[in-house]
Amino acid sequence: MKPQVLQHLHMPPLLATPLHAHYDVHPLWQEANPQAFLAQHGHRFSGYVTTARFGVDLATLDALPQLKVISSFGVGTDVLPLDAARARGIAVGYTPEVLNDCVADTAFALLLDVARGLSHADRFVRNGQWLQGQFPLATKVSGKRLGILGLGRIGQVVARRASGFDMDVRYHNRRPNPAVPYTYEPRLEALAEWADFLVVISAGGPDTHKLVSADVLRALGPKGFLVNVARGTVVDEDALVQALESGGIAGAGLDVYVDEPRVPTRLLALDNVVLLPHLASATHETRQAMADLVVENLDAFYASGAVRHSPLG
């Protein structure tokens, strides 16, 4: 018999098709009352498939007494119950490495877009404003200073992208990484004060909640730009909106928000911010590779008792 696995929410065919081929999958997202279903049938399932955006809450975990493995589509772990999983001996799989390039590409696309005003310029042409005058001057990117908050796997790819633009790179982590050639800045405010562009690619969760504060934005200053492809919670969103409206910073490129998919209305009215719908890894190639790893993590666990890639170490 195939192992019984819960599918937390609707997933594209590139993941759902192989998942259903390998496992006896129940779509929890189709249940009118998921809590009632879990109370009656939760003991049947040994596997759980979710995403880095939605994770697994503790109430669901408690309703799955036979759960042995969680396989998550994505690299974020802030909504995965890692401590509870570790305590119960539940394996956790995720999909690192395969999305590094696309997330880094998106970060740089946002950086170029907001600095040069490309999305704003597109609207300028479409709205017929070019007939009334020239588009305003923008900010050069090449040769500028790039600060990276979170020099992990993706952050290092962002730094490599920056070399093609002759940018000087510094970074802030909880601790320095001796394996990288970039200058470490122990204080985030100091990094922001130095940088022309601050790219946020740190993990989410309580440790980084509103880490990019009003003080950090003030240090970035009226000529500085913020790019966030991490989690919306890493940035104080109210402070960011205020800084963008007042000219406290020059602009922002955002792929993530605090309450997705609800974007603050005040951001929608601003031309100095580029807004994306959390699509950094959303290419055919990368999403296929992520889907493959979700299934491979499950396959590896049911074959050997260990997932292929785990945030638990």
Catalytic center residues: 231, 260, 278
Q: Which residues contact 7 (CB under 8 A, 6 or more apart)?
A: 16, 19, 25, 26, 27, 28, 29, 49
**Is cis: bond before 261, omega within 30 of 0?**
yes
Cα separation, 258 vs 76, in Å, equals 15
Provide the 3-class DSSP secondary structure of residue 237.
helix
Cα separation, 281 vs 136, in Å, equals 32
Q: Which two tokens stand for residue 233?
A: 């919670």
- Sign, CA dihedral 302-304-307-313, equals positive
Cα separation, 10 vs 7, in Å, equals 8
Q: Specify whether the CB–CB gap between 145 and 185 falls below 8 A.
A: no
Residue 224 CB burial class (10 angstroms; 0-12, 13-18, ≥19): buried
Question: 260-290 in b/e burial notation, b at 16+ Cβ within 10 A?
Answer: eeebbeebeebeebbbbebebbeeeebbebb
CB atoms within 10 A of CB 127: 10
Q: Which residues contact 45 (CB under 8 A, 6 or more apart)?
A: 4, 5, 6, 26, 64, 66, 67
User: Residue for token digits 């129940």?
Assistant: 26
